[in-house]
Amino acid sequence: MKLPGNMQTMMKQAQQMQERLQQELAQIRVDASAGGGMVSVKMDGQKNLLSVKIDPEVAGDVEMLQDLVVAACNEAGKKVEEEAKQKMGGMLGGLCLPPGMF
């Protein structure tokens, strides 16, 4: 099925924007911590955990350590989502798209 010229152009632009967005998301790096910095994590824009730092003081309490790691990872995930939304908003801001499309 052949699309009208204007629609083909729009589809091509959307594909290019998606590729740029994926490149920008891959470069995101966020840091988050829990327990007043007792556990710190670093995450990339694809929500891959890159590093974990644990204060030796908390290492003896396994249950608390587990909770702090989960909390720090969840916080990092939220930060990634916030940065991704900002980047998408900036890229899609110039387009007249119907609400809820992205």
Question: Residue 38 maps to which CATH number?
Answer: 3.30.1310.10
- Residue listed under structure tokens 């995450």: 43
* pTM exceeding the 0.75 threshold for the entire prediction: no
Residue 70's domain comprises 25-88
User: Rounded CA gap, 26 and 83, in Å?
Assistant: 11
CA 66 to chain centre: 23
**Contacts (Cβ under 8 Å, ≥6 apart) of 25:** 45, 46, 84, 87
19: helix, coil or strand? helix
Please report the pLDDT score of residue 50 as a whole number: 96
Place of tokens 């989502």: 81
Q: What is the pLDDT of residue 11?
A: 87
Asked if residue 13 is part of any domain, the answer here is no
78: in domain: yes
- pLDDT of residue 19 exceeding 90, the answer is no
Read off the pLDDT of residues 29-79 as tens digits, 9 standing for 90 and up. 999 999 999 999 999 999 999 999 999 999 889 999 999 999 999 999 999
Kindly state whether residue 75 falls inside one of the protein's structural domains. yes
Q: Which residue has the tokens 């990339």?
A: 44
